[in-house]
Amino acid sequence: MAGEKTVETTGLLGWIDRRFPLTSLFKEHMSEYYAPKNFNFWYFFGSLALLVLVLQIVTGIFLVMNYKPDAKLAFDSVEYIMREVPWGWLIRYMHSTGASMFFVVVYLHMLRGLFYGSYRKPRELVWIFGVAIFLCLMGEAFFGYLLPWGQMSYWGAQVIVNLFSAIPFIGPELSVWIRGDYVVSDATLNRFFAFHVIAIPLVLIGLVVAHIIALHEVGSNNPDGVEIKQGPKDRNGHPVDGIPFHPYYSVHDIVGVAGFLIVFAAIVFFGPEMGGYFLEYNNFIPADSLKTPPHIAPVWYFTPFYSMLRATTADFTWVLTGAAVLAAIGTLIKSSQKGVWRLALPVILLVVAILLRVIDAKFWGVVAMGGAVVILFFLPWLDHSPVKSIRYRPTWHKYFYAIFIVNFLVLGYLGTQAPNATFNLMSQIGTVIYLGFFFLMPLWSRLGTFKPVPDRITFHPH
């Protein structure tokens, strides 16, 4: 940059710098990475997610030292860690609590992105990497959930893996291939252990690095949705509306870390089971392939998507068929395309309507559950709002977001409960609201009166 001086480091640091770009990496991603001045508490959760990732890796390493990935020994090895290994109970509870807290901070991190349009141009790739991290995290949690070899671990894995058998043609063989056996067994435990300990963590770390590099390439978003790189610059070429990440935000994030650790420690020491949401009662009972628990449900962070799976019954597919037909008619009438493109989307929707009647409802439940996550990848192209931040959108847009959040929480609660007719109807309504929020976003996101976005960020020193 103009006006800057390059200072050559000496001593040990200089020796390293001549062989590895340590100082330049620190400057590029910390001390000379300029972030917007107006970050608020929503921006704590990205660094907290990184903290929990490190915590999970470190505690996981210590757990693996004493854990036995063997169907006959797994449960007893966990009990050995809890009762005999010095401080083993603390490591185990830190790891189990960390799994839930990881999803808490990641859900809040994604919610912040939704509020402030952090997925919009030029950050599409940052968002895609983030959703890929979320998918890997779900896989990591699922594979790790089997390892304690308790009742809920065993039967939860049995139910989830059996879902793959609903895929037409290849389903039954695929589910056997995933398990490595016809039922969840020692072979399943070994391959889940390998994925949980080695394969997915490597992919997860790579995606986190890619996520951060992509973020620092285009710059951080902010609550106003204003691009500080396109704003005025100082004589050194730095954004006037930005400040160096280090030391300002590296110190600022310590406040968030302190608050998080207080909550984390309170859970670990006073309520690691969290009333059965973090650690279920049935998981303190050894796995028994001859005794099915009365109610099988996944851990709380999967339950919103599990509700969508259970909601997709044979009767509900009639509702989806009708919606697909009406959407086909509507797009045919409203389409501005000409020629064959005018018929493309209606034809696709009609084919979906036919398939809904031909293929078993169980398969469509799997599609709904998986599609609820996969659709997040397309969010940058579904949002057609002229502004990024929720601050400058119409007030009724905020109500849409509020309904979406409450609906997601309700779906999460319903997924923990034993199914009945009332809860099933509520889950079906919740599934329609969740999917409708995204599928109709190209329409509702551009409607209403938008407030003018300032040329520069709004910042009030404190």
Do 321 and 178 lie in a common domain? Answer: no
- Residue 107 CA to residue 100 CA, distance in Å, equals 11
> Mind listing the pLDDT tens digit for each residue in 215-273?
999 999 999 999 988 888 888 888 988 999 999 999 999 999 999 999 999 999 999 99
Range from 88-92, 181-185, 410-414 carrying the lowest mean pLDDT: 181-185
Query: Could you give the angle at which helices 200-218 and 45-64 cross, rounded to 10 degrees?
Result: 160
What's this model's pTM, rounded to 2 decimal places? 0.92
Do 185 and 129 lie in a common domain? Answer: yes
Do 251 and 307 lie in a common domain? Answer: no
Q: How many residues make up the chain in this entry? A: 462
Task: State mean pLDDT over 205-209.
Answer: 96
Domains contained in the chain, number = 2
Do 122 and 261 lie in a common domain? Answer: yes
Give the confidence band of 462 by pLDDT, cuts at 50, 70, 90.
low
Domain with residue 404: its CATH number is 1.20.810.10
H or E segment and range at residue 198: none
Do 244 and 315 lie in a common domain? Answer: no
Do 261 and 327 lie in a common domain? Answer: no
Do 366 and 246 lie in a common domain? Answer: no
- Residue 145 CA to residue 95 CA, distance in Å, equals 11
Q: Is the pLDDT at 2 greater than 50, yes or no? A: no
Q: Which two tokens stand for residue 225?
A: 């949705």
> Mind listing the pLDDT tens digit for each residue in 105-125?
999 999 999 999 999 999 999
| Cα 331 off chain centre by | 32
Do 309 and 255 lie in a common domain? Answer: no
| Cα 43 off chain centre by | 16
**Residue 293 falls inside a structural domain:** no
- Residue 139 CA to residue 131 CA, distance in Å, equals 12
Do 122 and 205 lie in a common domain? Answer: yes
**Residue 4 falls inside a structural domain:** no
> Mind listing the pLDDT tens digit for each residue in 293-315?
888 888 999 999 999 999 988 88
**Residue 161 falls inside a structural domain:** yes
Tally DSSP H helices, then E strands, for the chain. Answer: 19, 2
Do 63 and 210 lie in a common domain? Answer: yes
**Residue 310 falls inside a structural domain:** yes
**Residue 50 falls inside a structural domain:** yes
3-class state of residue 450 by DSSP = coil
Q: Domain boundary residue among 258, 284, 310?
A: 284
DSSP letter at 27 equals I
Do 144 and 278 lie in a common domain? Answer: yes
Give me the pLDDT at residue 1, please.
44
* 204, 143 Cβ separation under 8 angstroms: no
Cis peptide before 293 (omega within 30 of 0): no
Q: Which two tokens stand for residue 371?
A: 């599609």
Task: State mean pLDDT over 133-158.
Answer: 94
Do 171 and 48 lie in a common domain? Answer: yes
Q: Domain boundary residue among 284, 315, 347?
A: 284
H or E segment and range at residue 250: helix 250-270
Domain range for 151 is 28-284
**Residue 123 falls inside a structural domain:** yes
Annotated binding-site members = 95, 109, 196, 211, 216
Contacts of 107 (CB under 8 A, 6+ apart): 301
Give me the pLDDT at residue 440, please.
86
Annotated binding-site members for heme b = 95, 109, 196, 211
**Residue 16 falls inside a structural domain:** no
Which whole-number Å values give the CA distances from 448 to 118, 292, 387, 393, in the listed order?
21, 52, 12, 8
Q: Domain boundary residue among 229, 253, 284?
A: 284
Annotated binding-site members for a ubiquinone = 216
> Mind listing the pLDDT tens digit for each residue in 56-87?
999 999 999 999 999 999 999 999 999 999 99
Task: State mean pLDDT over 434-458.
Answer: 90
Give the confidence band of 3 by pLDDT, cuts at 50, 70, 90.
very low
The fraction of the chain above a pLDDT of 90, given in percent, is 62
